[in-house]
Amino acid sequence: MNLTILGCHSATPRTSAHPTAQVLEMRGHLFLIDCGEGTQVQLRKLKVKFSRIRNIFISHLHGDHFFGLVGLISTFRLLGREVDLHIYGPEGIKEAIVLQLKLGNSWTNYNLIFHELSSKSPETLFEDEKVSVETIPLDHRVYTNGFLFREKPGERKLNLDAAVKSRIDNSYFSKAKQGHDIENRDGVLIKNETVTHPPDPPVSYAYCSDTAYLPKIVDQIKGVTVLYHESTFLESHQHLAEATKHSTAKEAAVIAKKAEAGTLILGHYSGRYKDLEDFRREAQNVFDNVELSEDGKTFKF
Amino acid sequence: MNLTILGCHSATPRTSAHPTAQVLEMRGHLFLIDCGEGTQVQLRKLKVKFSRIRNIFISHLHGDHFFGLVGLISTFRLLGREVDLHIYGPEGIKEAIVLQLKLGNSWTNYNLIFHELSSKSPETLFEDEKVSVETIPLDHRVYTNGFLFREKPGERKLNLDAAVKSRIDNSYFSKAKQGHDIENRDGVLIKNETVTHPPDPPVSYAYCSDTAYLPKIVDQIKGVTVLYHESTFLESHQHLAEATKHSTAKEAAVIAKKAEAGTLILGHYSGRYKDLEDFRREAQNVFDNVELSEDGKTFKF
């Protein structure tokens, strides 16, 4: 699982502070999460093969998470895209995009499929044999969802030495990886555990932005490998966090601790702070494994 | 008159190719012309005091001229703008902007005043004692206007030596600059021309993008000081220019020549060309005084 931060700042785009957008690579999928203004240029700058994106998840319709979407959709058209593009986001997203394409008489020549969200309970948006994606309903000034990306357990790994030693024919290797016991060349049934190792544990990623401190999400994201949780403010501006329905670094860390997350990534910083290490320090008083998102940074898990 | 090119490329924004936007400074006004994605970041990067912008002119509703507008409007709100902002653009522009502000529950706390255009004849959009702005109806795939910015003649310039010699009292100097004949200290009427020089000739700027070759604009822009005319293509791609209702560098030069413009600035280049000097060379076969627009470049006239 690779997570590339295209932008991790709140409010207005600035010369060296991009609004929110992330690319998550998981089991061959390339998911785009949020799409602030300038996202398409960040994708180019970071050399992401963005034609591979087939699913875009928009948390909410504030500009710093959404204003780059119509431009990206238009660019896909200009680049001759043919494959379907699925957009998941709050009700109204379709009207906003379609109106702008209509005004420019710039309809896409690929299928643009909107999945408009309005539920206040978690729902599964995407599922195949490798991955599932569900909403994490959040608490912000407008209707907002986070997203929980989960790998499904993969195949077991063949222990080639053991398989040869156990006289298992090559043609049964895939069956062994699927977890079955196998009859060997001598007609003896070999226990699966003898010739395979367990698969890598499936990883998961919870994206929670933007939101006020919301402990009720903990059950849903329990044990998540990586939690991205917004931390627009430090605790010294707790009153601003409450007024604007954002979180502090400390609150993000409390959620990570309660959820027993593997790693916490902070982001969506307010522009008022000079030293982002202050976010890490504040969070680490509560939870050890804290990373800071940075525009252009890739995390590998 | 200062013209700053924020972006001068067509179609999709790329790492070092910004879509169309310009800032024109004329007699104390700061006019924004078109607003492709990323315009607000260019304004910051080039240190334009963009809070001074009170009038934004949008030629047409293709993304490369328009997708940055909603973000700029939102940023003005976040920066605490209080003064009115006037937006001039094709019918539909209000609905597109207002819908997005509504979805984000992000109404501006300043007045946002839309002037929606649909006329196919030139009309005056803005006028005060110093400057006027009128539309130049163009021919593109969607409803499009260029804009003609004209200074009004300024005051005459006082010839101080002559005024003193003619025994004119200081208190009449403003009246002299306004062009009146003046009675001197001895009761003698002094001809205005004796004590003043003519004002600087007023300058004008015609912005023509996007458009097919359209000779009928020549009468309207006759004698313009500076003509910005799109040249998306070179003559070798004339067929593409025709198919997409754009112009070639040669066609832009023919318009400049017929209009007896002072200077021609080319721009809105297609991304297919490596050496932009080819545009200058092609245009200079027809018209001498050719400049190439470049992202970040300021022209002073």
Contact assessment for residue A2 and residue A300, using Cβ atoms and an 8 Å cutoff: yes
Q: Give the Cα separation of B44 and A270 in Å (integer).
A: 18
A285 and A192 inside one domain: no
Residue B182 and residue B286 share a domain: no
Q: Which of A41, A70, A141 is closest, CB to CB, to B15? A: A41
CATH number at residue B82: 3.60.15.10
- CB-based contact A265:A299 (threshold 8 Å): yes
* A17 and A130 share one domain: yes
Please tell me which residue in B34, B64, B169, B288 is annotated as part of the active site: B64
Q: What are phi and psi of A298, to 5 degrees?
A: -115, 130
Do B214 and B187 fall into the same domain?
no
pLDDT digits 0-9 by tens, A202-260 = 999 999 999 999 999 999 999 999 999 999 999 999 999 999 999 999 999 999 999 99
Counting the structural domains of chain B, the total is 2
Would you state the pLDDT for residue A67?
A: 98
> If pLDDT is split at 50, 70 and 90, which confidence band does A174 have?
very high
Which residue of B lies nearest to A143 if distances are taken between CA atoms? Answer: B104
One domain for residues B183 and B242: no
pLDDT surpassing 90 at residue A201: no
Distance from B72 to chain A by nearest Cα, in Å? 9
Q: How confident is the model at residue A30 (pLDDT cuts 50, 70, 90)?
A: very high
Task: Report pLDDT for B95.
Answer: 98
Q: At CB < 8 Å, which residues of chain B contact A?
A: 11-15, 37-38, 40-41, 44-45, 60-63, 66-68, 70-71, 74-75, 78-79, 90, 92-93, 95-96, 99-100, 103-106, 141-142
Residues A169 and A230 in one domain: no
Within chain B, which residues score under 50 in pLDDT? none
pLDDT digits (tens, 9 = 90+) for B34-90: 999 999 999 999 999 999 999 999 999 999 999 999 999 999 999 999 999 999 999
Q: Which domain holds residue A181?
A: 157-197
Nearest to B280 by CA among B223, B234, B244: B234
Q: What is the pLDDT of residue A1?
A: 95
Tell me the CA end-to-end span of chain A in Å, nearest whole number: 5
- Domain shared by B162 and B259, yes or no: no
Which residues of A lie closer than 8 Å to B, measured between beta carbons?
Answer: 11-15, 37-38, 40-41, 44-45, 60-63, 66-68, 70-71, 74-75, 78-79, 90, 92-93, 95-96, 99-100, 103-106, 141-142
> In chain B, at which residue ranges do the beta strands (DSSP E only) sit?
2-7, 21-26, 29-33, 55-57, 85-90, 112-117, 124-127, 131-137, 145-151, 157-158, 182-183, 189-190, 196-197, 204-208, 226-230, 263-267, 290-292, 298-300
Strands B2-7 and B131-137: unpaired
Is A200's pLDDT higher than 90?
A: no
Domain shared by B70 and B217, yes or no: yes
Q: Is B294 helix (H, G, I), strand (E, B) or coil?
A: coil
Could you tell me if B187 and B222 lie in one domain?
A: no
- Kindly list the residues from chain A whose CB atom is less than 8 angstroms away from the CB atom of residue B62: 104, 106
A36, A65 contact by CB (below 8 A): yes
Which pair of structure tokens corresponds to residue B91?
């019918």
In contact, A221 and A181? CB cutoff 8 Å: no
**ipTM for the assembly:** 0.91
Alpha-carbon dihedral sign for residues B175, B176, B179, B183: positive
Rounded to 5 degrees, what angle do the CA atoms B93, A66, A300 make?
155
Both A129 and A169 in one domain: the answer is no
In three-state secondary structure terms, B132 is strand
What is the C-alpha separation between B44 and B39, in angstroms, rounded?
9
**What are the chain B neighbours of A38 within 8 Å (beta carbons)?**
13, 37-38, 41
Where do the DSSP E strands lie in chain A?
A: 2-7, 21-26, 29-35, 55-57, 85-90, 112-117, 124-127, 131-137, 145-151, 157-158, 182-183, 189-190, 196-197, 204-208, 226-230, 263-267, 290-292, 298-300
Q: How far is CA A225 from CA A213, A265, B6, in A?
A: 20, 11, 43
The residue among A205 and A154 whose pLDDT is bigger is A205
Q: Are B180 and B284 members of one domain? A: no
Supply the pLDDT for residue B17. 96
pLDDT at site B85 = 98
CB-nearest partner of A12 from B40, B62, B70: B40
Q: Is A210 annotated as a binding residue?
A: yes
Q: Could you give the residue numbers annotated as active site of A?
A: 64
Question: In the annotation, is B64 catalytic?
Answer: yes
DSSP B297: -
Instruction: State whether B12 and A100 contact (CB < 8 Å).
Output: no
Pair B143, B118: CB distance under 8 Å? yes
Distances (CA, A) of B204 to A207, B112, B139, B152, B265: 52, 27, 22, 9, 13
Among candidate residues A197, A225, A250, the one where a domain is terminated: A197
Do A91 and A224 fall within a single domain? yes
